[in-house]
Chains A and B, each alone.
Chain A
């Protein structure tokens, strides 16, 4: 690198740092970045924190103790559905792009190291249990996206360590994964549109992605299931949304893993 280019780079770096620090100064002065820390929470955050599990005012509650999951799948459900549709678009685009270039990474062969294989077998089991548990408890801790991430990592590990053959052996193929992915997205939409359909049938007011009963829209998924010997809290649509979104994330990431390692028509053969 000659001197001129070197000084040009230094100048560019300084210019960027100075402009970012100026932006920081403006943000701090306008209280967008609070220094020192603020002593009170945001009013909107307070509203969510005090209403998601409010038994005394059920008109605004989501029957879930997990506030983040409630916001994602109840209060701001439309945003989340749009986020999942973007994921869906990418997962649908990926196989066609890879088909065009016929490009495969060499991670579909598997490894021969026994220590890696044995460790992976143990980790795979743990990941599966944790993933399923996180998805099912999505309306209480974390959620479907995080649980789906756990199990998707499992698929990636299997593909890298044991090769594509093990995915074939458990009966997975790109076509099958794509089909199940579309099905899981349709199930998500089914839950989202269940209340408007019920509203059309019954003639009572109901909204898209409505979770709980409201005084002005008396339709909802309920929140507990009485099985005579015990009562279960399922927080209405949140449980179903978490299960189907977890499934969608697993399948979406599996499609990406498949397209990178295996290809469409069989991929690698040892």
Chain B
């Protein structure tokens, strides 16, 4: 029962952070603030992918212990099955690595776009940029 309550608390916290991030992206007029909130959203999604793939009792890292560069003993299938019954889901970690890398590239590109925008309009406020564009369009 306590486990279910704690788990529900963690899941609802993650969902509320996602909701707040979406709110921040929609409402904030400063483009740097939007970028910061977007990066928080990305990190929360990566965290969610790892947390939602947790399983009860699977607590050890997905690395087979006792193997090094020079010491790599033959392992029986039984030992390997024991390992697979305790190790966490590696797919979530793979997803998190790939997601964070691609998200990093998106953030970098958006960062450069922000710099280009600041260079052109001398402001980071999206409302001012809109006014500037409308001003140039209609004279």
Chain A interface residues (CB < 8 Å from chain B)? 9, 12-13, 16-17, 19-21, 23-24, 28, 32-42, 44-46, 48-50, 52-57, 65-68, 71-72, 76, 79-80, 83, 86-87, 89-90, 93-94, 97-98, 100-101, 103, 137, 140-141, 145, 224, 230-233, 256
Contact = CB atoms under 8 A, between A and B. Distances in A.
Given A9-B27, A55-B75, A76 B63 contact: no
Contacts of A141: 63
B45 to A, nearest CB: 12
Contacts of B93: 68
B72 A224 contact: yes
B53 interface: yes
Nearest to B57: A39
Nearest to A224: B72
Contacts of B89: 41-42, 45
Contact of A65 (B3, B22, B67): B67
Contacts of A65: 63-65, 67, 72
Interface string B85-101: 10101110110011001
Contact of A24 (B3, B12, B70): B12
Main secondary structure on B side of the interface with A: helix
B102 interface: yes
A54 B8 contact: no
A83 to B, nearest CB: 5
Interface of B: 3-4, 7-8, 11-12, 15-16, 18-20, 22-23, 26-27, 52-58, 62-65, 67-70, 72, 74-77, 80-81, 83-85, 87, 89-91, 93-94, 97-98, 101-102, 105, 108-109, 112, 115-116, 119
Nearest to B94: A71
* B62, B70, B75, most chain A CB atoms within 10 A: B62
A19 B85 CA distance: 36
A16 B101 contact: no
A57 to B, nearest CB: 8
Given A41-B58, A49-B84, A145-B101, A20 B53 contact: no
Contacts, number: 167
A39 B19 contact: no
Nearest to B62: A67
A115 to B, nearest CB: 29
Contacts of B20: 13, 16
Given A13-B23, A65-B67, 13 more contacts: A33-B11, A34-B52, A40-B55, A55-B74, A65-B63, A66-B62, A68-B93, A72-B98, A87-B101, A90-B105, A97-B115, A140-B69, A141-B63
Given A9-B27, A12-B26, A230 B70 contact: yes
B23 A16 contact: yes
Contacts of B15: 20-21, 23-24
Nearest to B66: A65
Contact of A38 (B16, B55, B69, B105): B55
Given A36-B7, A48-B91, A17 B101 contact: no
B69 to A, nearest CB: 5
A140 B67 contact: yes
A83 B98 contact: yes
Nearest to B68: A140
Given A48-B90, A67-B90, A68-B94, A97 B112 contact: yes
Nearest to B81: A50
Nearest to A45: B89
A42 B93 CA distance: 13
A264 to B, nearest CB: 15
Contacts of B80: 49-50, 53-54
B102 A86 contact: yes
A92 to B, nearest CB: 12
B98 A20 contact: no
B16 A17 contact: yes
